[in-house]
Amino acid sequence: MEQTNSQLKNQDTKSHEWDTRLHHATKATHEDWIGRGISYFCIGIIILVVASMLWFITSKGIATFTQNHVSLWKFLSGTNWAPDQGQIGALPMILGSFAVTFAAAIVATPFALGTAIFMTEISPNRGRKFLQPVIELLVGIPSVVYGFIGLAVIVPFMRHVVGGSGFGIISATFVLFVMVLPTITSMTVDSLRAVPRFYKEASLALGATRWQTVSRVILRSATSGILTAIIFGMARAFGEALAVQMVIGNAAIMPKNLISPASTLTSQLTTGIGDTIDGTLPNNALWSLALILLLMSLFFNALVRFIAKRGQLKHER
């Protein structure tokens, strides 16, 4: 753009009236440049931040293996976590993280589906007026509040109902259930609303009941969106630190059952990071845990993209 303008200027400086207007950029063009400059600047900064974070966590996280010469296999499969004594088997935390994540997703999905169907198909009006704000409120509650409620209500409740100390995977599951429910619900609502209206109309016109329409047409065609919603919920559960840490008990031992204390990658990170020294094995080991978390969230993102792509293909056919 700039080039062509200046070329024009050089070629015929004293020519007809109509191209004198093109000799310098107009105000609108200037605004265009400024706008583009600002967006490129912002994008540049964001890319820089993301790239440097990836680089930072990766370089710190692999120090355990390059500097302290712990074998990767030992780190991933070892069950003894005692960094002060040089033992860094991370399997208990990895299992703990996956256990609470899957358990929370399994418990939350039916509730989220039911709520979403109610909000879109059964009673859209009440859904929009009443349930929507409730769900938005649930998203807005800080995780420390969930953790505190978990500690004050769920832990004693579990102690009375199932025994043990009350701290454990099951308490963490229930806290996370409430935390991922709004995420899964609101994304499911979006994907149900995105189902073309004529699918529903066609189905009803063919004589299908409302339940048949919902279960065989609407849910079926929104499957990829619902799966995406569940995975986003799982990503949130996997990364949640504070609330889980308050109710799971933080014992770096292999989870034997749902009611004995366990720990997750995040809970171990938050409890340990203040007491370790930069550059030593205990500190590097924590960075390696952070690296696993990062890789897992990249994996969740990739999975979402994969599902979205396949869903798109299906709709086009």
Partner 1 sequence: MNKGSKLAMGIAALSILLVGCGKATSSTSSKGSSEALSGKVTAVGSTALQPLAAKAGANFTAKNSKVNLTVQGGGSGTGLSQVQAGAVSIGDSDIFAEEKDGIKADKLTDHKVAVVGMAPVVNKDAGIKNLKMAQVKKIFTGKITNWKEVGGKDQKIVIINRAQGSGTRATFENAVLKGATAIKSQEQDSNGAVQKIVSTTPGAISYLAFSYFTNKLQAVSIDNVTPTDNNVQTNKWKIWSYEHMYTKGTPDKATAAFLKYMDSKAVQNSLVKDMGYISIHDMKVTKDAKGVVTQN
Where does this chain bind partner 1 (CB under 8 A)? 31, 34-35, 38, 41-42, 45, 49, 82-85, 151, 156, 159, 165-167, 245-246, 249-253, 261, 263, 270-283
Q: How far is the CB of 149 from partner 1 (least distance, A)?
A: 13
CB of 277 to partner 1, least distance (A): 4
Nearer to partner 1, 114 or 279 (CB): 279
First to last CA, the chain: 41
**What does the alpha-carbon distance between residue 21 and residue 106 come to, in Å, rounded to a whole number?**
66
Output the smallest distance, CB 223 to partner 1, in A: 38
Cβ-based nearer residue to partner 1, 123 or 271 = 271
**Residue placing its CB nearer to partner 1 in the complex, 55 or 130:** 55
Which residue type, as a one-letter code, is found at position 290?
A: A
- The nearer residue to partner 1, 228 or 264, going by C-beta atoms, is 264
Backbone angles phi, psi at 250, to 5 degrees: 50, 55
Q: Which of residues 107 and 151 has its CB atom nearest to partner 1 in the complex? A: 151
Nearest residue to 244 via CA among 293, 294, 300, 302: 293
- Residue 87: enclosing H or E segment and its boundaries? strand 87-88
Query: Would you say 84 or 136 has its CB closer to partner 1?
Result: 84
**Distance (Å, rounded) from C-alpha 88 to C-alpha 284?**
10
DSSP-based three-state secondary structure for 89: coil
CA angle 162, 183, 50 (to 5 degrees): 115
- We find the least distance from the C-beta atom of residue 84 to partner 1, in angstroms, to be 5
* Closer to partner 1 by Cβ: residue 49 or 202: 49
Structure tokens at 86: 């040089």
Instruction: Provide, rounded to whole angstroms, the least separation between the CB of residue 1 and partner 1.
Output: 19
Structure tokens that stand for 303 in this block: 């999975």
CA-nearest of 269, 275, 264 to 237 is 264
Minimum distance, C-beta of residue 105 to partner 1, in the bound complex (Å): 25
CB of 201 to partner 1, least distance (A): 41
Residues 6 or more apart whose Cβ sits within 8 Å of residue 57: 287, 290, 291, 294
Which residues 6+ apart lie within 8 Å of 83 measured at CB? 272, 276, 281, 282, 285, 286
